[in-house]
A = this chain, B = another copy of it.
Amino acid sequence: MNLVCETCPVRDSAACSVLTEKERGTLSKAGRTRELERGELLFAAGDEEAACATLVTGALKVTSYDADGNERILALIHPSGFVGEMFAPFPSHDVVALTNSRLCVFARSEVEDAINRYPQLTRALLRRSQEDLHAARQLLAMGSGRSANAQVGALVLALAQAASNSPCHFAQRFDLPLTRGEMANMLGLTIETVSRAITSLEKMGGLKRNGARGIELIDPARLEDAD
């Protein structure tokens, strides 16, 4: 399906927002929208024909697998995020939808053309890439030294932040986009430990659970430095 940028919810925040209307129109002819259901694979590591995409709605995970086939989540992608490797010969990680999602997909050659044609697009992608780098490093920092409770608390806060529209504000009530297994996996913990940590955070008054996925933040500070 062709792109309809006019009504795109991320038209002002995605990388393409730096283009003029005319340029955007040209680019939109090269791309296609794609809808994914939860669990559907967007790119697979080693794919022959690489592509890139901007996430419009939903959420994605970037994953790799260790020698024993255990999944490891390396990054979460939120709306207006960009995925795809423009330079490597092929993608090195799987990208999977965490929730039903809508994206703008471009063949890699199209992105390469666009980069050569629109320097401001290259700058926008550089900026995004640096933000991704920063996010990856924060994920590294989140794992270190802290107890399982603190790690889970920090992840819940990060997800609350992502769930709110504004970048430096927590959503009060929201649904976790990740299963316990996926949370465990991001933090290098087990499902049981994550479950126990959430129970413990609830008992100490940091949050309240609404079913398996629903979260209500009570006291964000208590999630930060849980014992």
Complexed CA–CA distance, A105 and B130 (Å)? 19
In the complex, what residues of B have CB within 8 A of residue A74's CB? 137, 140-141
Contacting residue for A122 out of B122, B136, B137, CB 8 A: B122
A133 located at the interface, meaning its Cβ lies under 8 Å from any Cβ of chain B in the complex: yes
A125 located at the interface, meaning its Cβ lies under 8 Å from any Cβ of chain B in the complex: yes
Q: How many copies does the complex hold?
A: 2
Q: Determine the residue in chain B with the shortest Cβ distance to A190.
A: B145
A165 located at the interface, meaning its Cβ lies under 8 Å from any Cβ of chain B in the complex: no
A171 located at the interface, meaning its Cβ lies under 8 Å from any Cβ of chain B in the complex: no
Complexed CA–CA distance, A103 and B69 (Å)? 41
At the interface with chain B, which of A26-34, A35-43, A85-93, A204-212?
A85-93
Interface centre among A75, A131, A134 (most CB of B within 10 A): A134
Q: Closest CB of chain B to A120's CB: distance in Å?
A: 9
In the complex, what residues of B have CB within 8 A of residue A123's CB? 115, 122
Q: Closest CB of chain B to A87's CB: distance in Å?
A: 5
Contacting residue for A130 out of B87, B139, B146, CB 8 A: B87
Q: Closest CB of chain B to A35's CB: distance in Å?
A: 26
At the interface with chain B, which of A2-10, A59-67, A156-164, A172-180?
A59-67
Complexed CA–CA distance, A185 and B144 (Å)? 8
A72 located at the interface, meaning its Cβ lies under 8 Å from any Cβ of chain B in the complex: yes
Contacting residue for A66 out of B86, B93, B119, B144, CB 8 A: B144
Q: How many residues of A contact B (CB 8 A)?
A: 42
In the complex, what residues of B have CB within 8 A of residue A115's CB? 123, 126
In the complex, what residues of B have CB within 8 A of residue A93's CB? 137
Kindly identify, within residues 175 to 209 of chain A, every residue whose CB is under 8 Å from any CB belonging to chain B: 185, 188
Q: Determine the residue in chain B with the shortest Cβ distance to A62.
A: B137
In the complex, what residues of B have CB within 8 A of residue A166's CB? none
Complexed CA–CA distance, A141 and B115 (Å)? 30
Q: Closest CB of chain B to A169's CB: distance in Å?
A: 19
Interface centre among A68, A116, A133 (most CB of B within 10 A): A133
Residues of A within 8 A of B (CB): 62, 64, 66-68, 70, 72, 74-75, 85-88, 92-93, 115-116, 119, 122-123, 125-127, 129-134, 136-137, 139-141, 143-146, 185, 188, 224-225
